[in-house]
Amino acid sequence: MSERKPHILVVDDEPNVLVTYRLILQQQGYTVSAAITSEEARNILQQDGVDLLLCDLSLEKQQSGFDVIQFGRNRSPGLHCVLLTGYASVEANERAEQENIPVLFKPIDIQQLLQVIADFLRKTDESRQAQHGH
């Protein structure tokens, strides 16, 4: 296992929500990037090193979290993504299911969020180790 701390990108158009998520995740010992717009998020995703993307569904100016996740996955196919939403329509639900994106509904139970994150990172770790093993 590398000594590098897992890098999580949080995207949300609400500044206070974004800040608090960043603080919580940093408190948990992760490296956290925070983007308040999809543009910012794309810029961060351009660079390597994001292990997990937590993205709000509705972003600024009708931007969709799906697009950001799409972008991230195109950039690095193994990227783990979680869609956060307080406003899940049936369509959104179905699309998330189709694209194999887990969804967490706001208000999010923090313990649950942390658990999900931990599970994902462990998986990433295991797959990475498997790759190294080859």
Partner 1 sequence: MASPQMRVRSEQQPAERERKAGLRLLNAERSEEIFPLLLEEIIALGHKAAFVARVDFETSSITPVASLNYSRGFLQKQRSTLFAMENPVIRILHTFHPEIVPGKARSGDGGLYVHPMVYRNRNACWEAERSNAGTCLAVANFHCKQRLNLPDQVCGTCDMRAYAAVVCVELKPNAKPAEVAQLGALVELANRYLSRIFKVEHYYNRMTDMETTIGQMRTVLESMADPVILTDAQHRVITQNKAAERFFKLPDEVSEGRVRAVELNNLLFSAALSSMAVAGVDSSRDMTLVDAIEGEEVLFEAVSAPSYGPDGRRTGMVTVMRDVTELRRADEELRQNYELLTAAEEVVRQDRDRLNLIIENVGDPIVVCDKDAKIVLLDPLAAELFGDEKAERTAIHMRNQAKLDAYIAAFTYSFSDRESAPLHLFNPGSEAEVEYDARSGKIYDERGMVAYTVSVLRDLSAVRRLEQLKMERRMLEMEKFAVAGRMAGTIAHEVNNPMEAIKNCIFLLQDSIHDDATPVYQILKTETERVARIVRQMLGLYRNTEQVGNVDINSVVEDTLMLFARQLDRSGVRVERELGDLPPVVGSADQIRQVLSNLVVNAKDSMAQGGKLRMRTRVAKNGIRDIITITIGDTGCGIPPNMLDTMFEPFVTTKGERGTGLGLWIVKGIIENHGGKLRVRSQVDHGTVFRIELPLVQ
- Residue 14 is a binding residue for partner 1 (CB under 8 A): yes
Q: Segment contacting partner 1 (CB under 8 A): 38-46, 62-70, 74-82, 106-114? A: 106-114
Q: How far apart are CA 94 and CA 60, in angstroms?
A: 22
- Residue 107 is a binding residue for partner 1 (CB under 8 A): yes
Q: How far apart are CA 113 and CA 12, in angstroms?
A: 15
- Residue 87 is a binding residue for partner 1 (CB under 8 A): yes
DSSP H stretches of helix in the chain: 15-27, 38-46, 65-75, 90-98, 110-133
Q: Segment contacting partner 1 (CB under 8 A): 15-23, 59-67, 75-83, 116-124? A: 15-23
Q: Which is nearer to partner 1, 78 or 105 (CB)?
A: 105
Structure tokens at 93: 């639900």
- Residue 66 is a binding residue for partner 1 (CB under 8 A): no
Q: Are 10 and 33 spatial neighbours (Cβ–Cβ below 8 Å)?
A: yes
Interacting residue with partner 1 among 37, 70, 104, 108 (CB under 8 A) = 108
